[in-house]
Amino acid sequence: MKGTLNKMQSRLEQPVQYILPIGNELIEMNNLIGKELEFIFSGAIYCKSCGKKTNKSFSQGFCYSCFLTAPEAAECIMKPELCRAHEGIARDMEWSEKNCLTDHYVYLAVSSGLKVGVTRSSQIPTRWIDQGAAKAIKLALTPNRHTAGVIEVALKPYLSDKTSWQKMLKNKYPADIDLEEEKQKAWELLDEELQGYITEDDEITEISYPVEQYPTKVKSVNFDKTPEFKGKLTGIKGQYLIFENGFVLNIRKHTGYEVELIH
């Protein structure tokens, strides 16, 4: 089958169930674990926003023009505290009303270590799965993206907001982290105004992934450098396909790449 790649869809089951969109096809990836796969990149890349052909992908799937203008590529996507939609300022207010001026969660998750993050309420648990989190807990519920970002920034001196993708793929993380205890610590670090957003929902979501064997070393596959790749699929975690001998393919990074998948 041949078409453009898009980020994998997921369902929270034990383990997570993955679907890979290639063009109009939806491929149940769990069924392919243990099998030989071959990807052939045609050399064509299409912008996930406007659909035009582009020589280079920016910010995981945009052409340069859409990278500068599309609301999905705005600076506040990476830095929620910079969102100004609540002030009526945005690249596209209609888009922001649906995606920024809506409930957001600040959360704590364990992927390569303890981290703090922000996501729309509709993106839970998808966001946690995409990051390869082993477990996660909701910390605060806010009415917009900006406020969630302010809480995240207040906690950044004490908590990382990054995931080490190499450690995550090796399944290396501290197993003794108590998320309820860390949530209490985070609450104590916030000023009184921000404490008011802390949620009473203390449910911890545990996530397992369909991986036969985790690699001890990881080697990233890049279609720009390696347009043809073949290997035995041994697992899936986050947005990565894991192959034998430690090769990993970041599907989200290759959004818009036109490939043929042979299995």
Residue 56 confidence (pLDDT) above 90: yes
* CA–CA separation, 119 and 222 (whole Å): 28
Q: pLDDT tens for residues 193-248?
A: 999 999 999 999 999 999 999 999 999 999 999 999 999 999 999 999 999 999 99
Check: CB of residue 74 under 8 Å from CB of residue 85: no
Q: What letter would DSSP give residue 58?
A: B
State the amino acid at position 44 in one-letter form.
Answer: A
Q: pLDDT tens for residues 122-138?
A: 999 999 999 999 999 99
Q: Verify cis geometry, omega within 30 degrees of 0, for the bond prior to 125.
A: yes
Among candidate residues 67, 137, 54, the one with its CA nearest the CA of residue 128: 137
Residue 58 pLDDT:
95
Instruction: Tell me the mean pLDDT in the region 36-60.
Output: 96
Residue 1 confidence (pLDDT) above 90: no
CA 32 to each of CA 22, 40, 98, 133, 241: distance values in angstroms, whole numbers, following the listed order:
15, 17, 36, 22, 11
Residue 27 pLDDT:
97
Q: Verify cis geometry, omega within 30 degrees of 0, for the bond prior to 157.
A: no
- How many beta carbons lie within 10 A of that of residue 153, not counting itself? 16
Residue 98 confidence (pLDDT) above 90: yes
- Which residue is associated with the tokens 């703090």? 116
Among candidate residues 30, 244, 18, the one with its CA nearest the CA of residue 132: 18
Q: pLDDT tens for residues 168-194?
A: 999 999 989 999 999 999 999 999 999
* CA–CA separation, 243 and 221 (whole Å): 10
Q: pLDDT tens for residues 109-125?
A: 999 999 999 999 999 99
pTM: 0.95
Among candidate residues 169, 168, 183, 177, the one with its CA nearest the CA of residue 108: 183
56: Cα within 13 Å, side-chain hemisphere: 5
Residue 84 confidence (pLDDT) above 90: yes
